Structure 1
Amino acid sequence: MSTEEGPVEHEDRWILNLRGMIITKISVDFRLVLILDSGWEVALEAPVSLSHGTAHTSPSVLLTPESQDVAPAHALCGAKILSAVAFKSGALRLVFDTGHHLTCSSDPSFEAWQVTGPAGWRFVSLPAGDLGVWSGSGTSES
């Protein structure tokens, strides 16, 4: 589990304090939702790229939450997060101890994904490639 107080902002991205957290549940409706063991949740609505290893050894698979075409995501159940980055361009990248990489780009028309956590943290990929960030105080930091 992360020892940082909260997410850390950099010039072009936020490093989310999800390192060491484990996916305990995966749910699917019109979204693919990853429930973590520490009160954090990752909800993906846009198509998501899931890869394993390098692009040379294993091509990525496109997961489509809207049509519930997400079966390969079940390999992430029980996986531990090694890295979680929310880019200010609206993209999200998660890296897992299983060798999997999950990447979700922004969408021009709707919110592609959101990450919510304790203390009121919320990261949202806004339409047209921007990132909305709310802290526990409820104020936007984007």
Structure 2
Amino acid sequence: MSLSGGYFLRLDSPFTLMLDGETTDLSPQTDPPERLVAIEQLIGRVITESVVDDSGVLTIAFDNGAVITCLPDDHYEAWMMTAPKGWTVAGTPGGEVGVWISEEP
């Protein structure tokens, strides 16, 4: 999903969306597109906090109280965020976190 300011977030593993007091488990790999419509309610919302813990769990909180939590995957990259100026942060296999910085031209 494209975020403002040139940021981009990709969730490749199952994640949990907590919104309006309800928790929904979603999977971008196996759920049909209509099931993922719930995340459209986050369009235009402001991210208030984004945290990656020591085990590779990504948690993103929004200004409307919604929270996305994406757990690491043992075999695949679970999530990835790219930022302006060449920054990439990713939840790599096994819960490690990778950071790449490309040099600006």
Work out whether the TM-score is over 0.5: yes
- Once superposed, which parts of structure 1, at least 4 consecutive aligned residues long, lie more than 2 Å away? 135-138
The corresponding residue for 2:84 is 118
Give CA-to-partner distance per residue, 1:16-48, whole Å, 9 cap, x none.
xxxxxxxxxxxxxxxxxx211100001001011
In structure 1, the gaps of 5 or more residues are 1-33
User: Is 1:49–2:12 an aligned residue pair?
Assistant: no
The corresponding residue for 1:97 is 63
Q: TM-score, normalised to structure 2's length?
A: 0.87
In structure 2, the gaps of 5 or more residues are none
The corresponding residue for 2:47 is 81
User: Is 1:128–2:94 an aligned residue pair?
Assistant: yes
Higher relative contact order (CA 8 A, sep 6+): 2
For 2:6 and 2:53, the matched residues in 1 are separated by 21
Give CA-to-partner distance per residue, 1:82-140, whole Å, 9 cap, x none.
001122421111000111000001001100000001111111111111000112449xx
Match of 2:24 among 39, 54, 61: 61
Q: CA deviation at 1:52?
A: 2.5
For these two proteins, the number of residue pairs brought into alignment is: 101
The corresponding residue for 1:36 is 3
Backbone CA RMSD of aligned residues: 1.7
For 1:128 and 1:113, the matched residues in 2 are separated by 12
Checking the alignment, whether the CA contact within 8 Å between 1:87 and 1:131 is kept in structure 2 is: no
For 1:90 and 1:59, the matched residues in 2 are separated by 24
**Structure number with higher helix proportion:** 2
For 1:70 and 1:43, the matched residues in 2 are separated by 13
Aligned identity (percent) is 32
For 1:63 and 1:124, the matched residues in 2 are separated by 19
